[in-house]
Structures are given as structure tokens and as C-alpha cells.
């Protein structure tokens, strides 16, 4: 039996079984059934009404929102807007110039010694109020007392020589009358008398000098005021060249405030000064809220500062309570004049626009109209209207940022017609802003300060 060699056969790749094919006709039939079912669902009456209602509501909401955003006739735009109003009224409007000033004492003295010596004692307490002539310090007077005694002795000696010379002159004149001596001897004696008289005068001047030195050894207050901190202690050797001196003495009563104003205000101020009018000045603290002292305008500087176009003014204050302190910053308010029977509205009613300043005037049918006005002097709470508005007309003070020409308004029950305007004309605050007022409105309100050519008005000035 022949054994034949068997070669292994290569492995065969198995083909994966194919998915059974669906008949094409069945797929087409299924798609047709789905399409027919969808059409039936869409045309079903209850379902169609629900879709139409939802779509209509969405469309109406979108249209209303778009209309409101465009400022069209939306529901909110057609509603009356709640605002606060005030009535314009007649009143007095003071014309006040407000400026930042510095409290400046009328006398600020650095007390120094006028001679050299040892400081024996200091006779004041730091911060003490002193009167003029009070002794502040004492310098050792003994060297000057010795010099004074020496000068007095020299004077006595020279006076004795003068007396002797005068007696000799009298004898020589008698002998000359008897023709017993020459006239030259008499003339020489007369000249000697003159010399002694000059010496006596010089000695007297030395005595006066040393007496003055003894007076200077007692350092007294040159003005009434408050002493500051002591600059030197007793026992030190002081000289007139000491820079700091012994103490600084500042006068507090009366005291002044120096402030500046624009040169445009100068004619009105000079007119009042030439007429002899006393112009009141009030000093407020740095926050411009607390009244410190009342005074009057004392004088005006003699030149205008060309770099700033301003002129300095000095106001005087008695300062009995010492509310004004040297070098303190204060707000000075100078009452220049008063406008009587002016039309006054709250400042919040005046707005700024491209055509100038305007107000919203409330018409009898509770709609508003824009009115261009010319503004006069202004106070922080009150504004005078020079033209464009009559007393009794109502203006919008709050809520004007939501208004336009012809807008309907409603006035809350808490703000009756004309009540806030009457108080505003008397200097009281206007009606409070409603909670819905937008912050943009405040950007259009007129600022309380005016240019220098038109001084601001302050009702609180005295």
C-alpha cells in the first residue's frame, strides 16, 4: 500500500450570511400608510383648532412685544403714566453767588524776641486766649539793667560838667562887659557849653534805649487772639534771628473769609457797594449743609487775576462762637440782590434738550405738552423762569423720562395737584420721585450751579 503524501488545503473564507431582503413593494406601502396617517392627523378638527389657537396667541404676543419695543401703540404705551407735578408760583428769588473760600485771620503774628538773652519764663498755656498787652514771656533783664545804670551815671556826670560850663560862661560875659577879658575867651566858653549840652542829650538817648530794652525783655501779646504751640522752652538763649519765634498768635474775633468770583459778577457787586448797601455773606461747612456764621462783604481786591478771570473778595465775621477756624475751607454765599415776584418752579421740572431748556406742562385734560422756557437764577431746590411759563401752570417734576408730546398722565393720590409746587416756590423740597422713575431722567435735569455770568440763587441766604 503506497502511502501518498497529503498536502494541507488552504483555509476557506467564510462569507457572512446576507440579511434577507425585504420586498421593495412592502416598503413603499409602509411609507404611503404613514403619509396618509399624518394628513389625517393634521386635518383632524380638534387638533387643528388647538394649533391655530396656540399660533395666534404666539403671534399676538410677538406683535405686542415688537410694538412695545418700537414705541408703537402697545398696551403699556397707551396707559396713562404716573408722574408728580407742581404748580408754578410767584415768589422772591435771592441772587446768591456761591464760591469756595478760605478762613483767613485778620492778624496772624509770629511772636519773636527783639533782643538777645536767656528766656526766663513762659507765661501762657498752649491754646490759651489772650488779650492785647498780656505778658507772654520774660527774658533775663539783668544785663540791660546794668547798662541802664551805667548810662544814668554818665548822664549825671555830663550834666554836672554842663552846669559848671554854664556858670563859667556867665562870669566871662560879666568880665567882658567890664572889658576885663577878651571876647575870644567868652566865645570859647559858649562853645564848650554847647558841647556839654549835646553830650547830655546823647546820654539821655542811651538811657531811653536801655529802658526800651527792658520793655522788650517782657514779651507781650501784640493783638488779642489764641496762642498756638510753644516753639521754645524756658532756659534757651533766644535771639531776634530765630525763625520759629516763641509762639504764633492768631486773631479769631473778628475773622475773615477770602473767596473768589468771576469777573462777570463784578458789575453787580460794585453797584451795590457804591450804593452803600451792606451785602450779607453766609459761611457754610465743606459739605455746604451746616451754617457756620453770618457776616458781610468787607472789600474787593484791586485787581483781576488774568490767568483765571476771577477777583478776590473778603468777608468779615464776628465769629463769637469760634465756628470759623483759620485756614478752614468753607462755602461762602454772597447775597447780591433779590428778584421779587418771580415765577418759581422746582428745579427737577426743568430739563435740557437739543432745543434748550424745557418743561412738561400739564394740560387740563391730563395730557402734557413740551414748553421751551428761559431760566433765570437757580437755587438747588428752586428755579426762576424768566419767560415761557406763567404762575399757576402745572409742570411735571418726576417721571418725565417716560413722557413725550401729548402723553396721558395720572397723578397718584399722595401727590395732589399743585401741593408740591406751592411748597417748592417757598423753598421746600419738591415731590418725591416715584419708584418707577428711570435713572436716565436725572441725566437730563438741570444742575443747580449756573455759569459765572448768571449767579445761582440761594433761598437760605440771610
User: Could you read off the pLDDT of 6-29 as tens digits, one per residue?
Assistant: 445 555 555 455 545 555 666 677
Task: Give the pLDDT confidence score for residue 461 in this predicted structure.
Answer: 36
C-alpha 107/C-alpha 135 separation (Å) is 18
Whether 4 has a pLDDT exceeding 60, the answer reads: no
- The answer to which of 53-62, 68-77, 175-184 has the lowest mean pLDDT is 53-62
Which of the two residues, 233 and 57, has the higher pLDDT score? 233
C-alpha 353/C-alpha 446 separation (Å) is 10
The residues pairing with 257 across neighbouring beta strands, listed in sequence order, are 103, 315
- The answer to which of 79-93, 214-228, 248-262 has the lowest mean pLDDT is 79-93
Which of the two residues, 442 and 323, has the higher pLDDT score? 323
Pair 336, 95: CB distance under 8 Å: yes
Handedness of CA 199, 200, 201, 202 (dihedral sign): positive
Q: Which overall architecture, per CATH, does domain 108-249 show?
A: Beta Barrel (2.40)
Cell 462569507, residue located: 15
Pair 96, 334: CB distance under 8 Å: yes
The Cα diameter of the chain in Å comes to: 215
409 Cα distance to chain centroid: 39
Pair 84, 443: CB distance under 8 Å: no
Confidence tier at 1 by pLDDT (50, 70, 90): very low
Stretch 242-258: mean pLDDT? 94
Domain chopping of the chain, boundaries: 81-93+341-444, 98-106+250-338, 108-249
Task: Give the pLDDT confidence score for residue 204 in this predicted structure.
Answer: 95
CATH topology of domain 98-106+250-338: Elongation Factor Tu (Ef-tu); domain 3 (2.40.30)
Q: How many CB atoms lie within 10 A of CB 345?
A: 28
Whether 432 has a pLDDT exceeding 50, the answer reads: no
The residues pairing with 261 across neighbouring beta strands, listed in sequence order, are 311
Whether 276 has a pLDDT exceeding 50, the answer reads: yes
103 burial level (CB within 10 Å; 0-12, 13-18, 19+): buried
Whether 415 has a pLDDT exceeding 70, the answer reads: no
CATH number of 81-93+341-444: 2.40.420.20
Task: Give the pLDDT confidence score for residue 77 in this predicted structure.
Answer: 55
Q: Give the whole-number percent of the chain exceeding pLDDT 70.
A: 74
Whether 339 has a pLDDT exceeding 70, the answer reads: yes
360: three-class secondary structure by DSSP: strand
Mean pLDDT rounded to a whole number for the chain: 80
Amino acid at each position: 500500500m503506497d502511502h501518498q503524501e497529503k498536502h494541507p488545503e488552504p483555509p476557506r473564507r467564510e462569507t457572512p450570511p446576507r440579511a434577507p431582503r425585504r420586498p421593495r413593494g412592502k416598503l413603499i406601502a409602509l411609507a404611503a400608510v404613514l403619509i396618509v396617517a399624518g394628513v389625517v392627523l393634521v386635518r383632524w378638527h380638534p387638533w387643528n383648532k388647538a394649533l391655530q389657537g396656540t399660533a395666534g396667541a404666539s403671534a399676538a404676543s410677538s406683535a405686542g412685544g415688537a410694538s412695545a419695543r418700537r414705541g408703537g401703540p402697545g398696551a403699556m404705551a397707551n396707559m396713562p403714566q404716573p408722574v408728580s407735578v407742581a404748580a408754578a408760583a410767584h415768589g422772591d428769588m435771592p441772587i446768591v453767588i456761591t464760591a469756595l473760600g478760605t478762613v483767613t485771620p485778620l492778624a496772624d503774628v509770629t511772636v519773636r524776641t527783639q533782643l538777645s538773652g536767656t528766656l526766663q519764663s513762659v507765661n501762657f498755656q498752649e491754646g490759651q486766649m489772650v488779650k492785647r498787652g498780656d505778658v507772654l514771656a520774660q527774658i533775663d533783664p539783668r544785663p540791660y539793667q546794668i547798662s541802664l545804670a551805667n548810662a544814668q551815671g554818665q548822664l549825671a556826670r555830663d550834666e554836672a560838667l554842663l552846669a559848671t560850663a554854664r556858670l563859667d560862661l556867665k562870669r566871662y560875659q560879666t568880665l567882658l562887659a567890664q572889658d576885663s577879658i577878651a571876647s575870644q575867651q567868652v566865645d570859647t566858653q559858649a562853645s564848650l557849653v554847647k558841647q556839654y549840652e549835646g553830650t547830655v542829650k546823647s546820654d539821655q538817648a542811651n538811657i531811653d534805649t536801655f529802658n526800651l530794652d527792658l520793655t522788650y525783655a517782657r514779651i507781650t501779646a501784640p493783638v488779642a487772639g489764641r496762642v498756638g504751640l510753644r516753639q521754645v522752652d524756658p532756659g534757651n538763649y533766644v535771639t531776634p534771628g530765630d525763625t520759629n519765634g516763641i509762639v504764633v498768635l492768631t486773631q479769631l474775633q473778628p475773622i475773615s473769609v477770602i473767596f473768589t468770583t468771576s469777573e462777570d459778577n463784578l458789575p453787580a457787586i460794585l453797584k451795590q457797594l457804591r450804593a452803600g448797601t451792606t451785602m450779607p455773606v453766609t459761611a457754610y461747612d465743606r459739605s455746604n449743609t451746616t451754617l457756620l456764621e453770618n457776616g458781610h462783604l468787607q472789600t474787593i481786591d484791586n485787581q483781576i487775576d488774568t490767568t483765571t478771570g476771577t477777583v478776590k473778595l473778603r468777608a468779615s465775621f464776628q465769629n463769637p462762637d469760634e465756628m470759623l477756624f483759620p485756614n478752614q475751607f468753607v462755602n461762602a454765599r454772597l447775597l447780591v440782590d433779590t428778584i421779587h415776584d418771580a415765577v418759581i418752579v422746582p428745579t427737577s421740572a426743568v430739563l435740557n434738550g437739543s432745543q434748550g431748556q424745557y418743561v412738561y406742562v400739564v394740560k387740563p385734560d391730563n395730557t402734557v405738552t413740551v414748553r421751551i422756557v428761559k431760566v433765570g437764577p437757580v437755587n438747588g431746590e428752586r428755579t426762576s423762569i424768566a419767560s415761557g411759563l406763567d404762575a399757576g401752570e402745572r409742570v411735571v417734576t418726576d417721571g418725565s423720562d417716560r413722557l413725550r408730546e401729548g402723553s396721558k398722565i395720572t397723578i397718584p393720590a399722595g401727590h395732589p395737584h399743585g401741593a408740591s409746587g406751592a411748597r417748592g416756590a417757598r423753598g421746600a423740597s419738591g415731590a418725591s420721585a416715584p419708584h418707577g422713575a428711570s435713572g436716565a431722567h436725572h441725566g437730563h435735569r438741570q444742575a443747580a450751579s449756573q455759569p459765572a455770568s448768571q449767579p445761582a440763587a440761594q433761598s437760605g441766604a440771610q
